[in-house]
């Protein structure tokens, strides 16, 4: 398998470096600017292409690692090439393989694969990419080959349906980006209490680490603690009073209702009707 990479940003550079580190053949890079392709190629000791058709011809498998909005445009550019028996794979978390319209007629096989991984640094993330789990969907041939590639590198690869891709991506956003927003809300409240951001982060760190560890190890039901789980109506009412009229109040109410669902699973014999009504 010889892999050509279209897109020389964080994802493309990370993948190229990681594959090369694991002795997987990479033909090189094509990017919107030749300069970016050259930087990625130099870093991964591969080749930079100024012509996308030349990269296509030099590769049996193509990884499209551009921003989501560019994937369809890239496909339109290469669909006219000789793609017989080639694998076309993009790495978007939200788009499915259906973006490759007419791929059967082109004689190629397509899939989308998404790593549950934060590509934080263009030149460093490849060092920890071995920790990533991936999800994949698409045509059988492409799925089998790309799944085998990453499983051969000791990754867990989960298959899914194309129609579930956006729901999957929303789940990832909630677990990642929206947790940052929730954390910021906590910091804002502590700032109102007179704490500096540095002190607030130090104060919250053990609580957050212990909770995340418990959620991952034991699941939400067994990890849940706090006033909602205890059915402490008085405390929840006072929380709502100090949050009244703020954006955080809406977040507290919405997540609180989800906590009631979890608490009811944990304590099947407890009546949460009153606290549910308050929220």
Residue 81: band (very low, low, confident or very high) from pLDDT cuts 50, 70, 90: confident
Q: Is residue 170, in this structure, part of any structural domain at all?
A: no
Last residue of a domain, one of 114, 142, 163: 163
> What was the pLDDT predicted at 114?
95
CA–CA dist 34, 29 (Å, integer)? 9
Cα 17 to Cα 56, 108, 214, distances in angstroms? 19, 26, 34
What CATH number does the domain containing 149 carry? 3.40.50.720
pLDDT at 82 over 90: no
**Is the same domain home to 8 and 141?**
yes
**Is the same domain home to 19 and 109?**
yes
Residue with tokens 């193509």: 62
Give me the DSSP letters along 226-256: SHHHHT-HHHHHHHHHHHTTSHHHHHHHHHH
Q: Summarize pLDDT for 243-259 with one digit per residue, the tens.
A: 999 999 999 999 999 99
Q: Is residue 205, in this structure, part of any structural domain at all?
A: yes
**Is the same domain home to 73 and 194?**
no
Q: Is residue 169, in this structure, part of any structural domain at all?
A: no
What CATH number does the domain containing 264 carry? 1.10.1040
Q: Summarize pLDDT for 203-257 with one digit per residue, the tens.
A: 999 999 999 999 999 999 999 999 999 999 999 999 999 999 999 999 999 999 9
Q: Is residue 114, in this structure, part of any structural domain at all?
A: yes
Residue 182: CB atoms within 10 Å: 14
CA–CA dist 8, 81 (Å, integer)? 21
**Is the same domain home to 256 and 158?**
no
3-state secondary structure 252-268: HHHHHHHHHHHHHHHCC
CA–CA dist 152, 262 (Å, integer)? 38
Average confidence (pLDDT) over 184-189 = 96
**Is the same domain home to 158 and 194?**
no
> What was the pLDDT predicted at 80?
83
Into how many domains does the chain fold? 2
Average confidence score pLDDT of the chain: 95
Q: Summarize pLDDT for 23-68 with one digit per residue, the tens.
A: 999 999 999 999 999 999 999 999 999 999 999 999 999 999 999 9
Query: Are the C-beta atoms of 19 and 26 separated by less than 8 Å?
Result: yes
Residue 65's domain comprises: 2-163
**Is the same domain home to 7 and 145?**
yes
Q: Is residue 168, in this structure, part of any structural domain at all?
A: no
CA–CA dist 67, 262 (Å, integer)? 36
**Is the same domain home to 156 and 80?**
yes
């Amino acid at each position: 398998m010889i892999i050509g990479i279209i897109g020389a940003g964080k994802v493309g550079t990370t993948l190229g470096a990681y594959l090369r580190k694991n002795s997987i053949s990479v033909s090189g890079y094509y990017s919107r600017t030749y300069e970016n392709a050259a930087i990625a190629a130099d870093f991964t000791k591969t080749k930079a292409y100024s012509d996308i058709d030349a990269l296509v011809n030099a590769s049996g498998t193509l990884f499209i690692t551009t921003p989501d909005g560019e994937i369809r445009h890239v496909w339109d550019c290469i669909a006219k090439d000789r793609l017989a028996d080639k694998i076309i794979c993009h790495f978007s978390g939200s788009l499915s393989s259906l973006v490759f319209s007419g791929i059967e007629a082109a004689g190629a096989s397509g899939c989308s694969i998404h790593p549950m991984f934060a590509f934080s640094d263009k030149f460093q993330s490849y060092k920890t990419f071995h920790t990533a789990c991936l999800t994949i969907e698409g045509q059988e041939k492409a799925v089998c080959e790309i799944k085998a590639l990453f499983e051969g590198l000791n990754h867990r690869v989960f298959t899914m349906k194309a129609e579930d891709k956006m729901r999957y991506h929303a789940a990832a956003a909630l677990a990642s980006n929206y947790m940052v927003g929730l954390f910021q809300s906590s910091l804002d409240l502590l700032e109102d209490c007179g704490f500096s951001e540095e002190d607030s982060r130090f104060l919250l760190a053990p609580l957050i680490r212990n909770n995340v560890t418990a959620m991952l190890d034991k699941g939400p039901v067994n990890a849940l603690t706090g006033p909602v789980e205890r059915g402490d109506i008085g405390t929840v009412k006072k929380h709502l009073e100090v949050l009244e009229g703020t954006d955080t109040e809406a977040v507290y109410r919405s997540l609180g209702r989800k906590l009631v669902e979890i608490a009811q699973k944990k304590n099947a014999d407890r009546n949460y009707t009153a606290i549910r009504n308050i929220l």
